[in-house]
A and B are shown apart, each in its own frame.
Chain A
Amino acid sequence: MGIPEKMSALQRTIFCLVFCLSATNALAQVPDTVRAFLENHCLICHNEKSHKGKLRLDNLPYDFNEAENSSKWKLALERISEGSMPPSGKKRPSAREIESFEKVVQGPLNAALIAKAKKEGRTILRRLNRIEYENTLHDLLGIRAKLKDLLPADALEHGFDNQSESLSISQVQIQRYLEAAEVALSSTICRTARPETKKESFGFQHQRTEQFIGKHWLKKDDGSIVFFTNNTYPPTHLYAFNAWNDGLYRVRIHGYSYQTQKPVPFGVYFGHYFKFGDMQLHSYQELPTDKPGVVELMVPLVKGDGMQILPSDLKGFNAYKQKDPDDPKTYKGAGLAILSVEVEGPVISEWPSKGHNLLFGNLEQKPRDKNPNRRNPVILQVQSNKPEEDAQRQLSNFLNKAFRRPVSKELVDVYLKLFKDQYSGGANFEEAMLTAAGAALCSPEFLFFQEKPGRLETHAVANRLSYFLWRSLPDEELIALAQKGNLSEPKVLVAQVDRMLADPRAKRFITDFTDAWLDLRNIDFTTPDKALYPEFDNELQESMLLETRGFFEEVLSKNLAIRNFIASDFAMLNARLANHYQIPDVEGVAIRKVKLPQNSIRGGLLSQSSVLKVSANGTNTSPVVRGVYVLDRFLGTKPPPPPPGVPAVEPDIRGAKTVRELLEKHRSVETCTGCHRMIDPPGFALEEFDVIGGTRSAFRVLGNPPGSKPIPGVRYRFGPNVDSTGELLDGRKFQDFQGFRQLLLADQDRFARCLILKLLAFATGREPGMENSRELEALVRKSSAKDHAFRDMIRLIVQSELFLEK
């Protein structure tokens, strides 16, 4: 206990006596250095009377074998190491005190944690998160029903939504699992004859839009309709088309870019015409300039859905002018000409569906009703002459697949019993089977990973691998290798990683991992201010995601060194991004690899607009927020949250002062400076980029700061200049972003360690702790020997103890 300073010697003695008596003799067993630290810095709050944060340290036994004790010591150590304890306003322990406290406690604590992990496993019993749940059922049953949105949101732990400890289960989840299972099963079962696939062609000439032709749009002799603006009015909906059934459609858009040398990009949207906000962007596309071309898309649609085509950067002309409105016939600017849209669907690859076959094999189906008619069309029902035998066989097939491992006869019997009860209780064969299958989908065998402490058996390895790289259940090859028992052999593992990464399902890994690691899932969390960033549009935002995912994929598939994530001599760009980055000679909507000019500020992840957008708020940027982003996601340091009672720096976009200047005051306060010297510098370096990833040498402002001038065509002005200089905690200085990037490159092991930790957290459902530093360092060393090539890193990770043990 920190002894109150204003006490006389006698008071002190009495205080100590009383205090020491009140604490149990637990404290007596604590080593001297640790006890001294506790007494000087902790016990004033964490004692018998005032156990702040529900933590008492005065009676905490120095015995790490008890889980309850060791978790408290761990918490204390973490908070002291990160600097959030003792809280601000209390006396700071010296660096030497902290170091010796850490040194003494760390040893026995690590030993205890390792022993515990050996006994219980590092990862805790982990359930599928809702993305994994949906992927699993999609792949198992061959369906596309939206299941994810039926389930409660999964808790995020440091950006990851698949962490074993925070994935809880509540009653509301069970309710939703029951419902989602029903939805999944009823969308896989095929109760009609194979639906007919129709093909039809549509144009934009329609009674709803007839009035716009000649005024806004041009009708050409070849039958095409030409659009000249990216306005949403007149509506460029394909009103003649409505999806005639649920299913997958092949959509072919015929047309060309009109009166231009540069293809006109356009967004293709699908959804209900008259439900506001229902139209969802599918993708950006383009058509050739010289001759008619075609764009083909495969799109899942719901009956009644329609389509919209919206040009992206057409300036167009004004048909609303009061005097002498412009005329589409005489207008000389660029346009988008659509000849026709050909639609074919529903496209069915397998009938009955994969799930239907899995559940019912080739059991015969017969019409359910005696007299089907137009109002009661033929509904088929699965028949069985040997219900028990058929059920036993089909359930066994189903459970083996759904539970992702061989199931025992006893386990099949559990579900067979449910089938029999339902069947004998009056349900027909099909209903009783669906009930049994529904139960399986709510069972722990389906919902949880099955991992036993120690070295994982091969089926558990197959599952871990598969959910890591495919985010879904293992396929037959993985299961066969697990069955054979040699999946965990290094050679086999490496071959499987390569095979899996070459599979289209690996896209899910790229999306989900970058969503968590780089926070890309929040790309649309803010909309940039229109007055400050008039150049922003949806096409740019969509391109940002494609860029970063494409870049990640390039490094992964080519096995490039991870230093490319920091700085690279190439970028993945399309015309929209290249224009944004002022890089010449990139055309078209498709993302492709582009060699960057010498000394380009682009290259690497930190200069990509997606990263710069998610680390800003749409109006302004904060070096603190961006600094934390870089530290946590690239350097593996989680800065402590600001101490209670410290107000956040309030940005001021009127233009007088930059956030950096406002921060200076804050940084000069002694309690703040320690952390901010660490947090802010990376954020200072990123000051060269605005909220949408454009480069800047001065801040855009909406006020009229002295000396600023109006800029024709936009509302903003340029305010204070950007200062992107800084000094890292270790004293190394940088002059600008590129200088900072060089400093990052100088310590690639640190970045590698951070990335390995993130990958392991994602792959195993738990981030390795300080007790795993030995294995972690071994991984970093091995990775370094391979120049930290990214695919090699993943190969090494799956061979590591941290991956192959629970």
Chain B
Amino acid sequence: MALFEIVTKKRLPRRTFLRATGVAIGLPFLDAMTGAFEPKPREIPRRFVAMCATLGFHAPYFTPKENGADYSLTPYLETLAPFRKKMTVFSGVSHQEQSGANGHTSELTWLTSAKRPGLNGFKNTISLDQYMASKIGNQTRYPYLALSTGGESLSWSGNGVQIPAESSPSKVFKQLFVNGTADEVKNQIRDLKRGQSILDTVLGQAKKLDRELGPKDRQKLDEYLTAVRGMENQLRESEGWTTRPKPKIETTAPTDISNRNDAIARTRLMNDMIVLALQTDSTRSITFRLAGLNSVPVVDGVKNDWHNLSHHGQDTTKIEELKLIEIAEFKALAAFLKKLEEIREQDVTLLDNTTVLYGSNLGNASSHDWHNLPILVAGGRFRHGQHLAFDSQNNLPLSNLFVSLLQGMKIHADKFGFSTASHVSGFEQL
């Protein structure tokens, strides 16, 4: 508890309202299935992870020259060779009309496909992971995780509000696996009830305002009312989860990596948390923003600022230095996929039940070009093992792929965002 006139900067008073129930991670839902009866043998759940490297990848080192199954591995894909049969590489895909307020605004819409990001009248739309969470999030303790190595998340709510990101692996771990003491649980429940009383009060008051407003204003107030009601429900349902023990695991709590520039190590540590979250079915929808740095990343042989290297302007020494960073990113992905592959779930592996969407919102970061994005999908129930090359002049909408990914989660969908087709030809479900 803060006792002084001024509380500054980083540290916050220890006890805050909803600490108990999860902050960046969204609040838990009560599993409606719990009951006194023997549970039915469960179908293995499908999971989804999206990772976006916001400074892009040097395309010639990513995209294979040949189409189809017999493509030869490029330097970056070389690192993923063991998973060749379990992944599909895409080229010639992008979202439409992504010229935005600046060269990097396409990262706002990587999972949403909304057009003209940051320009006049722009309003973002729901991101793929949040759409999934709205459909299946109530089946797990947490409907989603929105993670980042630093800065904002990739996730956007239905009315275009950015979900704050969690970037501390130890906090994620605590939230997922550490049970509170009896006193803590008691306090948590008291706080949840207090929160409900607060929301109940403001809701009653806000409804009275509704009568006085014009249509546009009412829309805004409705957003507020809907948000308050949703929050009330979640607080109520959280009470149930608060008293139920969290999954028991062998792993010990991680120590966060304080060096901001050690982006690769931070990525790897968070990836481990993602594996644990998926393995314990704590959530089924995860986004992880792999934020680039305006500084020199900790990678052997790299001496220059990362963002700067991405604007290589064709300078070969810069490109080779950039390659060192990007290879390290792909190696982290390979290690992540390997862990998923090593976990058995009935007669398949966790990777077979997890669709991993990996790529960037920039096709050529040096010129901020948002066409021809580097995209790959690994895992999940798809007929993998090929390079699907689409027209580099007239790109396939990336949201067409999103529709396929929704279907891969067994979510009924025939469109998402600005999709133009209900599937991607050549990318079939198993």
For B158, the closest partner residue in chain A by CB is A170
For B317, the closest partner residue in chain A by CB is A702
Check if B9 sits within 8 Å of A245, measured CB to CB.
Answer: no
Question: For window 169-191 of chain A, which residues contact chain B by CB distance below 8 Å?
Answer: 169-176, 178-179, 181-183, 186-187, 190-191
At the interface with chain A, which of B243-251, B360-368, B375-383? B360-368
Contact residues in A for B199 (Cβ distance below 8 Å): 174, 178, 442
Q: Provided the pairs A168-B161, A178-B198, A187-B13 are in contact, do residues A195 and B394 lie with their beta carbons within 8 angstroms? A: no
Contact residues in B for A195 (Cβ distance below 8 Å): 3-4
For B394, the closest partner residue in chain A by CB is A645
Binary per-residue interface labels of chain B (288-308) against chain A in the complex, 1 for a CB within 8 Å, 0 otherwise: 000000110000000011011
State whether the Cβ of B8 lies closer than 8 Å to any Cβ in chain A: yes
Q: How far is the CA of A156 from the CA of B367 in the complex (A)?
A: 23
Q: How far is the CA of A159 from the CA of B3 in the complex (A)?
A: 38
Check if B393 sits within 8 Å of A652, measured CB to CB.
Answer: no
Q: Provided the pairs A169-B220, A641-B119 are in contact, do residues A617 and B304 lie with their beta carbons within 8 angstroms? A: no
At the interface with chain A, which of B68-76, B96-104, B171-179, B328-336? B96-104
At the interface with chain A, which of B39-47, B202-210, B400-408? B202-210
Q: How far is the CA of A54 from the CA of B120 in the complex (A)?
A: 18
**Which of the residues A435, A445, A527, A531 comes within 8 Å of B295, measured between beta carbons?**
A527
Check if A439 sits within 8 Å of B202, measured CB to CB.
Answer: yes
Check if B27 sits within 8 Å of A175, measured CB to CB.
Answer: yes
Contact residues in B for A171 (Cβ distance below 8 Å): 157, 226-227, 230-231, 234
- Name the distance in Å between B26's Cβ and chain A's nearest Cβ: 7
Check if A155 sits within 8 Å of B5, measured CB to CB.
Answer: no
Binary per-residue interface labels of chain A (444-483) against chain B in the complex, 1 for a CB within 8 Å, 0 otherwise: 1101100011000000000000000000000000000000
State whether the Cβ of B323 lies closer than 8 Å to any Cβ in chain A: no
Contact residues in B for A648 (Cβ distance below 8 Å): 364, 367-369
At the interface with chain B, which of A118-126, A206-214, A586-594, A731-739? A118-126
Contact residues in B for A277 (Cβ distance below 8 Å): 258-261
How many residues in A have their beta carbons less than 8 Å from beta carbons of B? 112
Contact residues in A for B294 (Cβ distance below 8 Å): 524-527
State whether the Cβ of A145 lies closer than 8 Å to any Cβ in chain B: yes
**Which of the residues B10, B102, B216, B226 comes within 8 Å of A302, measured between beta carbons?**
B10
State whether the Cβ of A706 lies closer than 8 Å to any Cβ in chain B: no
State whether the Cβ of B118 lies closer than 8 Å to any Cβ in chain A: yes
Contact residues in A for B371 (Cβ distance below 8 Å): 645, 647
Check if A302 sits within 8 Å of B8, measured CB to CB.
Answer: yes
Chain A interface, >50% SS class? loop
For A159, the closest partner residue in chain B by CB is B101
Check if A155 sits within 8 Å of B119, measured CB to CB.
Answer: no
Q: Which of A169, A435, A618 has the largest number of chain B CB atoms within 10 A? A: A169
For A126, the closest partner residue in chain B by CB is B220
Contact residues in A for B9 (Cβ distance below 8 Å): 146, 271, 280, 300-302
**Which of the residues A151, A172, A275, A300 comes within 8 Å of B157, measured between beta carbons?**
A172
At the interface with chain A, which of B15-23, B29-37, B341-349? B15-23
Q: How far is the CA of A156 from the CA of B122 in the complex (A)?
A: 8
Binary per-residue interface labels of chain B (89-123) against chain A in the complex, 1 for a CB within 8 Å, 0 otherwise: 00000001101111100000000000010111111
For B218, the closest partner residue in chain A by CB is A125
Q: Provided the pairs A146-B8, A156-B118, A527-B307 are in contact, do residues A653 and B198 lie with their beta carbons within 8 angstroms? A: no
Contact residues in B for A647 (Cβ distance below 8 Å): 367, 369, 371
Check if B315 sits within 8 Å of A654, measured CB to CB.
Answer: yes
At the interface with chain B, which of A387-395, A411-419, A770-778? A411-419
State whether the Cβ of B182 lies closer than 8 Å to any Cβ in chain A: no
Contact residues in A for B261 (Cβ distance below 8 Å): 276-277
For B305, the closest partner residue in chain A by CB is A527
For B23, the closest partner residue in chain A by CB is A179
State whether the Cβ of A382 lies closer than 8 Å to any Cβ in chain B: no
Question: For window 324-379 of chain A, which residues contact chain B by CB distance below 8 Å?
Answer: 346, 348-351, 353
State whether the Cβ of B124 lies closer than 8 Å to any Cβ in chain A: yes
Check if B8 sits within 8 Å of A144, measured CB to CB.
Answer: yes
Check if B311 sits within 8 Å of A276, measured CB to CB.
Answer: no
State whether the Cβ of A421 lies closer than 8 Å to any Cβ in chain B: yes
Check if A300 sits within 8 Å of B260, measured CB to CB.
Answer: no
Interface range on chain B: under 10, 10 to 19, 20 to 34, or 35 or more?
Answer: 35 or more
Question: For window 603-628 of chain A, which residues contact chain B by CB distance below 8 Å?
Answer: 617-620, 625
Q: How far is the CA of A176 from the CA of B228 in the complex (A)?
A: 12
State whether the Cβ of B194 lies closer than 8 Å to any Cβ in chain A: yes
Contact residues in B for A411 (Cβ distance below 8 Å): 205
Question: For window 132-184 of chain A, which residues contact chain B by CB distance below 8 Å?
Answer: 142-146, 150-153, 155-159, 164-166, 168-176, 178-179, 181-183
- Name the distance in Å between A690's Cβ and chain B's nearest Cβ: 14
State whether the Cβ of B255 lies closer than 8 Å to any Cβ in chain A: no
Check if A143 sits within 8 Å of B7, measured CB to CB.
Answer: yes
- Name the distance in Å between A792's Cβ and chain B's nearest Cβ: 28
Contact residues in A for B163 (Cβ distance below 8 Å): 152, 170, 172
Binary per-residue interface labels of chain B (169-213) against chain A in the complex, 1 for a CB within 8 Å, 0 otherwise: 000000000000000000000000011011101101110010011
Check if B101 sits within 8 Å of A156, measured CB to CB.
Answer: yes
- Name the distance in Å between B5's Cβ and chain A's nearest Cβ: 5
Check if B308 sits within 8 Å of A526, measured CB to CB.
Answer: yes
- Name the distance in Å between A77's Cβ and chain B's nearest Cβ: 13
Contact residues in B for A175 (Cβ distance below 8 Å): 18, 23, 27, 231, 234
Check if B216 sits within 8 Å of A124, measured CB to CB.
Answer: yes
- Name the distance in Å between A398's Cβ and chain B's nearest Cβ: 14
State whether the Cβ of B424 lies closer than 8 Å to any Cβ in chain A: no
Q: How far is the CA of A246 from the CA of B158 in the complex (A)?
A: 39
Check if B221 sits within 8 Å of A444, measured CB to CB.
Answer: yes
Q: Provided the pairs A170-B227, A418-B201 are in contact, do residues A152 and B164 lie with their beta carbons within 8 angstroms? A: yes
- Name the distance in Å between B161's Cβ and chain A's nearest Cβ: 4
Q: How far is the CA of A619 from the CA of B260 in the complex (A)?
A: 23
Q: How far is the CA of A164 from the CA of B201 in the complex (A)?
A: 25
State whether the Cβ of B159 lies closer than 8 Å to any Cβ in chain A: yes
State whether the Cβ of A703 lies closer than 8 Å to any Cβ in chain B: yes
Q: How far is the CA of A527 from the CA of B124 in the complex (A)?
A: 29
Check if A155 sits within 8 Å of B123, measured CB to CB.
Answer: yes
A-B residue pairs in contact (CB < 8 Å), sample of 5 = A165-B121, A190-B5, A271-B9, A435-B198, A653-B314
Cβ-closest 4 pairs across A and B: A641-B99, A653-B313, A120-B214, A170-B161
Known: A174-B228, A417-B201, A443-B206. 18 other contacts (CB 8 A): A67-B215, A124-B217, A125-B213, A143-B6, A145-B7, A145-B12, A158-B120, A170-B157, A175-B27, A179-B19, A186-B16, A246-B3, A435-B197, A438-B198, A444-B221, A444-B224, A638-B120, A645-B393
